């Protein structure tokens, strides 16, 4: 099983086309059999500005961009105060939560 990145910001099940490895030789047939309205729906979802933002690495980094998605993913794997975890419906972590000493410049 493959775990796709940024699952909290990108609805892979809605925008992707998933093909079993054994069916790769038939990819052309599989892709051309997708109805145009399904393709259009996937394209519209991809055109969503927040979804585009979640896949890009702009310079400088911006809230909701791929850099922040990476930080959010790493933060979920580390122990933190409960105040920094994502709450239902939130897309960004509160990176300033926690001990004040942690906020000092490097």
CA atoms of 9 and 66, how far apart (whole Å): 10
**pLDDT recorded at residue 50:** 84
Take residue 52 and report the two structure tokens written for it.
Answer: 């585009």
Asked if residues 91 and 9 have their Cβ atoms less than 8 Å apart, the reply is yes
The pLDDT score that the predictor gives to residue 29 is 97
Instruction: Give pLDDT, residue 43.
Output: 93
pTM summary value: 0.60
**What's the length of the chain?**
106
Residue tagged 């699952």 (tokens): 7
CB 64 within 8 A of CB 91: yes
The span from the CA of 8 to the CA of 64, in Å, is 11
**Residue range 27-40, pLDDT digits in tens:** 999 999 999 999 99
Neighbours of 96 (CB within 10 A): 10
Share the mean pLDDT of the chain.
81
CA distance 67 to 73: 10
Domain boundaries of the chain, sorted by first residue: 12-103
């Amino acid at each position: 099983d493959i775990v796709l990145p940024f699952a909290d910001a990108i609805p892979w099940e809605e925008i992707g086309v998933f093909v079993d490895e054994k069916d790769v030789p038939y990819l052309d047939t599989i892709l051309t059999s997708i109805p145009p309205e399904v393709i259009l729906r996937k394209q519209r979802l991809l055109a969503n500005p927040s979804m585009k933002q979640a896949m890009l690495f702009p310079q400088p980094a911006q809230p909701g961009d791929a850099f922040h998605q990476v930080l959010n993913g790493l933060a979920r794997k580390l122990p933190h105060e409960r105040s920094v975890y994502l709450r239902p419906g939130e897309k960004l972590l509160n990176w300033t939560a926690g001990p004040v000493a942690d906020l000092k410049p490097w």
